[in-house]
Chains A and B, each alone.
Chain A
Amino acid sequence: MPRIKIDHTKCTGCRHCETACSLNHVANTVNPRRARIRVMRDGNRYYPVIAGPFVDAACTSKHYIVIGEQTYDMCAFCRASCPEKPYFVEAETGIPLKCDFCGIPPSPSCVRWCNTGALELVED
């Protein structure tokens, strides 16, 4: 099954993936808030996060993540379109957003526009 592999060390935080996703899903419209991928940032680091479904189980196994010298709240990288944060929800309708790999066969627009290799389509 194809997946999008994220290498956060290569992400430059340019947010081109957000615009690509938004353009591909909402006709002729660019709005990062309607994108199904968002780039979280913390200080000098960037973490692309791809939207997924919200299930309670994710929160029960919540813990802290240590990367380098810093400790992060797991919510910062969570892909769920959960009510706690303003990400991955259509503002007008409240419908949760979820990555659909840009249809079948998968050719995600975010991967096409990501020039640094932070996003990659892999088979496994």
Chain B
Amino acid sequence: MNGWIGRCLRINLTEGRHNIEEIDPGLLEKFIGGRGLGARIFTDEVSPQVNPLSPENKLVFSSGPLVGTGAITGASCNVITKSALTGGLACAKMRGHFGAEMKFAGFDLLIVEGKAEMPVIVSIMDDKVRLIPALEYWGRTTVETEELFKNNLGDPWAARETYLVSIGPAGEKLLPLANLINDRFLPVGGAGIGAVMGSKNLKAIAVRGWHSLQVADGNRFMQVVTTLINKLNSAPLTQSMSQTGTAFLVGLCYQKGILPQNNFRRAPLPLRNIATDALNSAFALRSRGCFACPIACIKKADVKHSAYEGKGMAPTYLAIGSLGVNCGITDLTTIGMASMMCGEMGLDPVATGGTLATIMELVEKKLVTPEELKIDLRFGNGEAMVEALRLMATKKGYARRLGQGGLALAKEFGRPEVFMGVKGHSLSPFDPRAIQGMGLHFATCNYGPHHLFAYTFIDELLNVHQSLDPWEIGGKPLLVKEYQDTTAVMDSLGLCNWPLMGLKFNNYVPMVNSCLGTNYKADDLLFIGEKIWNLERMFNLKAGFDRTHDTLPERFIKEPVPDGPAEGQVSRIGEMLPEYYHLRGWNEQGEPRPETLQALNLEVGECQE
């Protein structure tokens, strides 16, 4: 097969067995791979009512067909499971090299089920699948785990070609905020997956392989990829990405009042402390690319601080927003420290930042005192925050209660309205009052309010393909639907979505076809994207979500932005939602109509018990 391998590795941890299965080619054609195929297999095999931390829950690692072929930014491996944080589907988009190496090891899909008696590491090396006892790894940070594992291999050549995905102490302690770490990258959108992996006593998965991938038309494929690289180079925004990573968004979001501060209650302080110039002077940035990525937006940096010393990912927009400004912190060294601590402990920065902002607001409202907490968690106190992260992840002291997530924490103090999130997941650092389309996406996203499941800001804020005003609502429901579908299909192909800042989705089609030997048109692919979105929606509906969860916290609907450029704006989610449902072909309750499912070729059996 071209692009695809067509093999799936199923590992049963309870019985300590594994077997290799063929994947039905019909399924590959219908759901492509990656997120689509992963969601299809997961929703087929796991009941929506399953307890996320029980052995019945499964983890599906799914690489797209373009991953590892050299298609630009083809590096994405998606992990699908039922989230321990939201109770709905969770999807971690793993970048880096793990997905590609998984393909070279000979598998499109990796399904982990059951629960091991003792901590184990799954090692898939050169066609040998083994379960390695991992007692000596348990309790270690993700960085230590990777180093120790590679040392234990005893062969420096093999170690260089091995890639790991692991959980940190947070995942071992079953914190709902825990995420996976792969190849020392933080995957995005993975809050709630680390705990699932921890509940299976699975510390890490290591892969290495030497299988070949086939491409349908190699010459044409090479030409198309060369053209796309040149096209990307002529786009100014991808150049900014290459220089400072996603942090270049900080300044732009600030200008439109999108960057939130102090748990979404005011516009930020002067920008100069956190803008890209400050980032360049705070760290010596080194670029690091995911597999086959010409942009290389991941920046590595060293932090040397009296309280912390380490190497890791320099702050991205997400870290600066969630762990920084939204917690009142505008010192980049502290933000970098917190971000690296999240990476080592295996905490998701968005969910963790949201939880910390929640407790900080509770402290400010005097519902809990710093003495009670034993940490001085106030807005702007960076050192206390870094300390809280450490305690949280290792479940020590009072801070152990923070680890349950923002919503549970706010409920504990009887003030659920203080938690800024949807479906139990904290909001990404975009104020939905100042960027209406993103607000609608946050309310309706299947995976919780994460901006990386619909890149509407490319048009709303950066005006790349069309010029839209972020504060207006005209045309936004259609924009959100289009971006949600595009993202779904690109995740399924295994492509990163950031190049959409320089390329149109249509530009990708020749690359897809020359690689896979298919005859897709752009519309065919977007149709598949819509199908995937509806499939995920159906699972979530059965897992207990309904129309009432498609909303934003009251603060965004009732309280206008108090200051800054977007002063006076409120979210008009109520006006946009009916149109969105209509465009999606859903009824007023937000359920896909039977004729919609039929038109999407989603068989009844695929969506209902």
Contacts and interface: CB of A to CB of B under 8 A. Distances in A.
B70 A19 contact: yes
B296 A30 contact: no
Interface in A1-58: 12-16, 19-20, 22-24, 26-34, 40-41, 43-44
Nearest to A9: B286
Given A14-B289, A30-B68, A116 B222 contact: no
Interface in B187-206: none
Given A23-B218, A29-B212, A30-B212, A13 B68 contact: no
Contact of A30 (B215, B242, B286): B215
Contacts of A34: 212
A12 B69 contact: no
Given A15-B292, A27-B218, A116 B69 contact: no
A13 B288 CA distance: 6
Nearest to A114: B294
A15 B97 contact: yes
B69 A91 contact: no
A86 B215 contact: no
Interface stretch (B225-233, B248-256, B264-272, B374-382): B225-233
A12 B96 CA distance: 11
Contacts of A20: 70, 222
Contacts of B100: 15
Interface majority SS on B: helix, strand, loop or mixed? Answer: mixed
Given A14-B292, A15-B291, A33-B210, A23 B215 contact: yes
A44 B311 contact: yes
B160 A14 contact: no
Contacts of A13: 288-289
A85 interface: yes
A70 B395 CA distance: 36
Given A23-B218, A112-B226, A16 B292 contact: yes
Given A28-B215, A31-B104, A113 B226 contact: yes
Contacts of A15: 97, 100, 291-292
Size category of the binding interface on chain A = 20 to 34
Contacts of A24: 222
A31 B210 contact: yes
B300 interface: yes
Nearest to A41: B160
A113 B69 CA distance: 13
- Which of A13, A26, A34, A87 has most chain B Cβ within 10 Å? A13
A98 to B, nearest CB: 19
A29 B296 contact: no
Contacts of B291: 14-15
Contacts of B242: 116
B213 A31 contact: yes
A12 B213 contact: no
B292 A19 contact: yes
Contact of A115 (B158, B214, B294): B294
Contacts of A19: 68-70, 292
A16 B294 contact: yes
Interface in A44-77: 44, 76
A23 B221 contact: yes
B157 A109 contact: no
Contacts of B233: 115
Contact of B293 (A16, A23, A30, A44): A16
Contacts of A32: 104
A16 B157 contact: no
B311 to A, nearest CB: 6
Contacts of B157: 85-87
B121 interface: no
A23 B290 contact: no
A40 B74 CA distance: 20
A18 B442 CA distance: 39
A122 to B, nearest CB: 20
Nearest to B74: A19
A62 B289 CA distance: 31
B70 A116 contact: no
Nearest to A39: B160
A86 B209 CA distance: 12
Nearest to A109: B222
Contacts of A85: 157
Contacts of B232: 115
Interface string B48-71: 000000000000000000001110
Interface in A98-124: 109, 112-113, 115-116
Contacts of B293: 12, 14, 16
A114 B291 CA distance: 12
A29 B288 contact: no
A71 B104 CA distance: 31
Interface string B289-310: 1111111100010000000000
A116 B210 contact: no
A29 B3 CA distance: 10
B220 to A, nearest CB: 10
B217 interface: yes
Interface of B: 2, 68-70, 72, 97, 100, 104, 156-158, 160, 210-218, 221-222, 225-226, 229, 232-233, 242, 286-296, 300, 311
Given A14-B291, A15-B100, A116-B296, 6 more contacts: A14-B290, A14-B292, A15-B292, A44-B288, A113-B294, A115-B229
List 6 A-B pairs, minimum CB-CB distance, nearest first: A14-B289, A19-B70, A115-B294, A12-B289, A12-B296, A28-B218
6 contacts: A20-B70, A22-B70, A29-B215, A33-B210, A109-B222, A113-B225
